[in-house]
Amino acid sequence: MKRFLQSHTLSTGLAIFSMFFGAGNLMYPILVGIQSGTQNIFGMAGFLLTAVCLPLAGLVGMILFDENYKLFFNRLGDIAGSIVIAISLIIIGPLVAIPRIATLSHTMIAPFIPIQFLQQDTTLSSFIFAVLFFALTFSCTYKKSRVVDLLGYVISPLLLLSLVTIIVKGIWFANVSLETDISPIEAFASNIIRGYETLDLLGAIFFSYVALTILKKSYNDEVNTQHKRAIMGLKAGGIGLSLLAAIYIGLSYLGVHFGPLLPAKFHAGEIFREISFIVLGSHGAIIISLAVLMACLSTSIALCTVFSEYLQHDIFKGKISYIQALFLTFILCLPLSTFGLGKVLELTGGPITFIGYPVLITLTMCNISYKLFGFKPIKVPVIATLFIATTAYYWQLFTPYFS
């Protein structure tokens, strides 16, 4: 038992959990509970299908392709693969994911900041907060080899402790249940889309690359075959994604029980904070702020590490250092990080969710089928999915104008 607790597999599993569990992941499962109410079991089934099972598929895909995301994407062809990699990393980098973390962090943490100016929702305060947040992220990422250990041994335990405290106390003392008119099928179907919005399949592919590569280096000669690496990678992924699912379920029931107590109008980014205040009271501010900060910081660390490596090796071909690439990443992320949460969240929906995600799912399933069953078709299924998803999205978008 002691050996397991000190193992790289456990620390990598905890790191995978904290990589996935960003600020948005505090918000979405609670929304599932609020929307689904007494049908929460069906709502969570739909949510977990896309928010946990898809990342698991991404992890399996990366293990099968020997932790090499270029091999994974380049089955589409070298040029097409490079384009998809670039688009994917821009989405989880400076276009959507990192700015979303920075803006959501500001929204959630604002009441706990001792400087009154930074509590305001203005462009300047958002900019200053983003600079401070990225400075904190830099202090955790400038030594790339320590990222997984930092996430696994420090950030993840603090995140889990604070979240479990809020969830256990909330469910233990809950005495209200949210009644809704939604049917089980509606709850299931609508929350499949909400699971899409986490963008965690994209994260799974690139986070797995970082985590599994460092895991391989940590074991040196102990993991000298792909089979052994695959077993350890699956164990680590199983730990991380099981924790993710358990926390999602707990947060959703907070939404079920405490949704009726929320103000009539509330900002999506304020949901976790407001429910946590109801559960813990004002004296729980330290625990609440710790949960939010650890959730925000963990995913920011992972995303910035992945995007910086891409800039260093693929864009600049090793002509700049990792530290320089890290600084460039922060500069690219600053503009959108000052726009406010609402505008950044708008980018998560639309074409990214309803066109890009189905294409990525098809690519992942085709790649897994290729490795396991020798299924060779890849371009036709991906192009067909792209055509169907694009047609369906724009048909739904423009139909109201013609009716």
pLDDT digits (tens, 9 = 90+) for 171-194: 988 876 667 788 999 999 999 988
pLDDT one-digit tens code per residue, 133-175: 999 999 999 988 788 788 888 999 999 999 999 999 999 888 7
Q: How big is the CA angle at 146 (ends 323 and 202), to the nearest 5 degrees?
A: 75
User: Domain boundary residue among 292, 326, 342?
Assistant: 342
- Within this chain, do residues 277 and 355 fall inside the same structural domain, yes or no? no
User: Whole-number mean pLDDT of the chain?
Assistant: 86
Burial (Cβ within 10 Å: 0-12, 13-18, ≥19) of residue 221: exposed
Q: For residue 274, which phi and psi values (nearest 5 degrees)?
A: -65, -45
393: pLDDT strictly greater than 70:
yes
User: Domain boundary residue among 324, 342, 360?
Assistant: 342
Cβ(34)–Cβ(256) under 8 Å? yes
Output the pLDDT for position 305.
Answer: 92
334: pLDDT strictly greater than 60:
yes
- Within this chain, do residues 313 and 213 fall inside the same structural domain, yes or no? yes
Output the pLDDT for position 83.
Answer: 94
- Within this chain, do residues 274 and 334 fall inside the same structural domain, yes or no? yes
Output the pLDDT for position 149.
Answer: 82
- Within this chain, do residues 312 and 372 fall inside the same structural domain, yes or no? no
The residue with greater pLDDT, 230 or 99, is 99
Output the pLDDT for position 159.
Answer: 92
Total count of domains within the chain: 2
- Within this chain, do residues 274 and 392 fall inside the same structural domain, yes or no? no
Cβ-Cβ contacts under 8 Å for 334 (sequence gap 6 or more): 127, 130, 131, 134
Best-predicted range by mean pLDDT among 120-129, 260-269, 387-396? 387-396
220: pLDDT strictly greater than 60:
no
Output the pLDDT for position 341.
Answer: 57
Give residue 346's pLDDT band: very low, low, confident or very high (50, 70, 90): low
- Percent of the chain surpassing pLDDT 90: 46
Please tell me the distance from the alpha carbon of residue 218 to that of residue 235, in angstroms, as a whole number: 15
Tell whether the torsion through CA atoms of 168, 169, 173 and 178 is positive or negative. negative
- Within this chain, do residues 303 and 164 fall inside the same structural domain, yes or no? yes
- Within this chain, do residues 254 and 362 fall inside the same structural domain, yes or no? no
Per the structure, the complete domain to which residue 363 belongs is given by 350-403
User: Domain boundary residue among 313, 342, 371?
Assistant: 342
- Within this chain, do residues 361 and 236 fall inside the same structural domain, yes or no? no
Q: How many CA atoms lie within 13 A of 173 on its CB side?
A: 12
pLDDT one-digit tens code per residue, 244-291: 999 999 999 999 999 888 876 777 778 888 888 889 987 787 888 888
5: pLDDT strictly greater than 50:
no
72: pLDDT strictly greater than 80:
yes
pLDDT one-digit tens code per residue, 21-64: 887 788 899 999 999 988 999 999 999 999 999 999 999 999 89
- Within this chain, do residues 197 and 274 fall inside the same structural domain, yes or no? yes
- For the CA atoms of 341, 347, 348, 353, what is the dihedral angle to 10 degrees? 160
Output the pLDDT for position 344.
Answer: 62
- For the CA atoms of 183, 185, 188, 192, what is the dihedral angle to 10 degrees? -130
The residue to which tokens 């907060």 are assigned: 129
Q: Which amino acid is at 340?
A: G
221: pLDDT strictly greater than 60:
no
Output the pLDDT for position 107.
Answer: 81
Q: For residue 378, which phi and psi values (nearest 5 degrees)?
A: -140, -45
- Within this chain, do residues 294 and 379 fall inside the same structural domain, yes or no? no
Please tell me the distance from the alpha carbon of residue 193 to that of residue 348, in angstroms, as a whole number: 11
Tell me the whole-structure pTM to 2 decimals: 0.88
Q: Mean pLDDT check: name the lowest of 49-53, 196-200, 379-383.
A: 196-200
Q: Which amino acid is at 1?
A: M
Please tell me the distance from the alpha carbon of residue 127 to that of residue 116, in angstroms, as a whole number: 15
Cβ(342)–Cβ(333) under 8 Å? no
1: pLDDT strictly greater than 60:
no
Output the pLDDT for position 403.
Answer: 59
Output the pLDDT for position 130.
Answer: 92
- Within this chain, do residues 126 and 142 fall inside the same structural domain, yes or no? yes
- Within this chain, do residues 301 and 204 fall inside the same structural domain, yes or no? yes
Q: Give the pLDDT mean for 325-339.
A: 91
347: pLDDT strictly greater than 70:
no
The residue with greater pLDDT, 328 or 118, is 328
Q: Give the pLDDT mean for 185-206.
A: 88
CATH number of the domain residue 246 falls in:
1.20.1740.10
